[in-house]
Amino acid sequence: MARVVVDPITRLEGHLRIEVEVDNGVVTDAWATTTLFRGFEIFIKDRDPRDAWHIAHRICGVCPTSHGIAATMGLEESFGVTPPDNAVVIRNLMEAAQYQHSHILWFYALNAFDYVDVESALSANATTPALKAVQERLQAFVDSGQLGFLANGYWGHPGMLLPPEVNLELAAHYLQSLDIQAKAARALAVFGGKFPYHMSTPPGGVTVVPTIQDVLNYEQIMKEVNDFVRNVMVPDTLAAGAAYIDLAKIGGGVNNFFTWGVLEDVASRDPYKRALPRGAIFDGKLSVEKVSPDDAVEYVPHSWYTAESGGGKNPGAADATTEPEYTELNTDDKYTWTKTTQIKDKQMEVGPLARMLVAYLSDAPGAKKIIDDTLSALGVPGQVEVLLSALGRLAARPLEAALVADKMEADLALLKENITSGKGEWFTQNEVPESGTGVGAWDAPRGSLAHFNRIEDSKIANYQATPASNWNFSARDDNGTRGPVEEALIGTPVADPEAPLEILRVVHTFDP
């Protein structure tokens, strides 16, 4: 038996350490350690509630828009204010642009080089001038000796299965994706002022009153982004998925999934009617149950927090706290900064796979067709259970991006109509209350997050955030049940402990 430590895990947002036990070439135990303490709950306290959303969306540099919107939604509940329809549409469009930015970033920059062998691409037969130019560009990196992103890949690993020509094409798409994701960021800034850390969604609505030209600018930029998603990223997913179909045999995890839902249904504001609806799946049963922020419970038996910070509390409880207490990294005791957050005492996976499964089983528009078509293209028609795996996570993001593109286009049509007809408001006036409580439950691209606030004397008396890491990278709970990433690693084959590519593949499917 060997202990393998990968520290740091690279190509992610944040800081992560993975430790596993490997016996006879297979992972038999695993520990996920988030090595960064964020502490936003501490320094949001005692502030003016109107400051909270500005601060809270800095919890993440990759999904700030989602944190900002979730924080605002929670404050709106505390304030007792409802944003106008036009404001909800604007928020949807900003979130959709961030989703495309994040999905493209993850698929190509953070994930693809677990499957694409760049050195192999140098030996490909470049069939077009464009591919030849990419090959020469890659060769120039190698010849310079300053390899940058090419320096630390497991090139030549026996697990790399794509032929040289496909490796070259995907490397070319990686370079193209850098420009495309920047355009998605630019589109978000049309309504948000900037990206990251937009400036336009305070409690009550939005501070931007767009002209029809603004909408057309956004639409023109996002058409190119969405065309890339549909015509490049989704076909790349099918090509990679077909070559790495054995990923369906590993990475299953806890088989409990949930999502708060994202992209509001403007007419109903019902989270179960969002474009990607709210819901939970328990014990791998392909049926959806309702879920509420009241069901969330945090534990800290293996986390660097005081006992008072956990003990089975809902993050919205008056006595919920985030009090750090670092001891040492000991996998038998405390080993991570991530709290163990559960729904109905279950370790829960969140993220694109959870959203797509819930959307599929809830008959959300477009979800069933795109998943069924993908399963057929991969040679496993109708076998939805195949998606409960590393392969499912690999496929879920690009497929979700295609659904987001559809929702974006529908919301754009509604916004154009409202602006042209002069219909609707953009902001509802409001005041900070003397007291109140609220929660904004929403999904970032990498998974579910909720922002709980408690206001007393017109100030933030308590603030607790449960980002995606608190679910996917949960430590063991009071019963010793592994978190989703830890459990997903069990059974993963490792051909060479000195080059643990297979471990990276499983971990990266969760988009740490």
Question: Going by C-beta distance under 8 Å and a sequence separation of 6 or more, which residues neighbour residue 211?
Answer: 419
- In this prediction, residue 340 carries a pLDDT of 95
Q: Which two tokens stand for residue 83?
A: 């944003």
Which pLDDT score, from 0 to 100, does residue 468 have? 95
- 189 φ, ψ to 5°? -70, -20
Cβ count within 10 A of residue 295: 17
Query: What is the residue range of 396's domain?
Result: 2-508
The secondary structure of 274-300 as a DSSP string is SSB--EEE-TT-S--B---GGGEEEE-
Q: How far apart are CA 460 and CA 47, in angstroms?
A: 6
| Residues contacting 334, CB < 8 A, separation 6+ | 301, 302, 303, 304, 327, 328
| CA dihedral (301, 307, 313, 315) positive or negative | negative
> What pLDDT score does 377 carry?
87
Between CA 326 and CA 303 the distance in angstroms is 8
CB 19 within 8 A of CB 31: yes
Residue from 268, 253, 258, 264 nearest 290 by CA: 258
**What is the model's pLDDT at position 310?**
67
Q: What is the pLDDT of residue 329?
A: 97
Q: Answer whether 160's CB lies under 8 Å from 120's CB.
A: yes
* CB contact at 8 A, 294 and 280: no
- How is the beta sheet containing 26-34 ordered, strand by strand? 2-6, 16-23, 26-34
Q: pTM higher than 0.95 for the full model? A: yes
Structure tokens at 389: 């795996």
CATH number of the domain that residue 63 is part of = 1.10.645.10
Tens-of-pLDDT digits for all 512 residues of the chain?
Answer: 889 999 999 998 889 999 999 999 999 999 999 999 999 999 999 999 999 999 999 999 889 999 999 999 999 999 999 999 999 999 999 999 999 999 999 999 999 999 999 999 999 999 999 999 999 999 998 888 887 777 778 999 999 999 999 999 999 999 999 999 999 999 999 999 999 999 999 999 999 999 999 999 999 999 999 999 999 999 999 999 999 999 999 999 999 999 999 999 999 999 999 999 999 999 999 999 999 999 999 999 999 999 877 678 999 999 999 999 999 999 999 999 999 999 999 999 999 999 999 999 999 999 999 999 999 988 889 999 999 999 999 999 999 999 999 999 999 999 999 999 999 999 999 999 999 999 999 999 999 999 999 999 999 999 999 999 999 999 999 899 999 999 999 999 999 999 999 999 999 999 99
Q: Which residues contact 245 (CB under 8 A, 6 or more apart)?
A: 378, 379, 380, 391
Total of domains in the chain: 1
Sign of CA dihedral 420, 424, 429, 435: negative
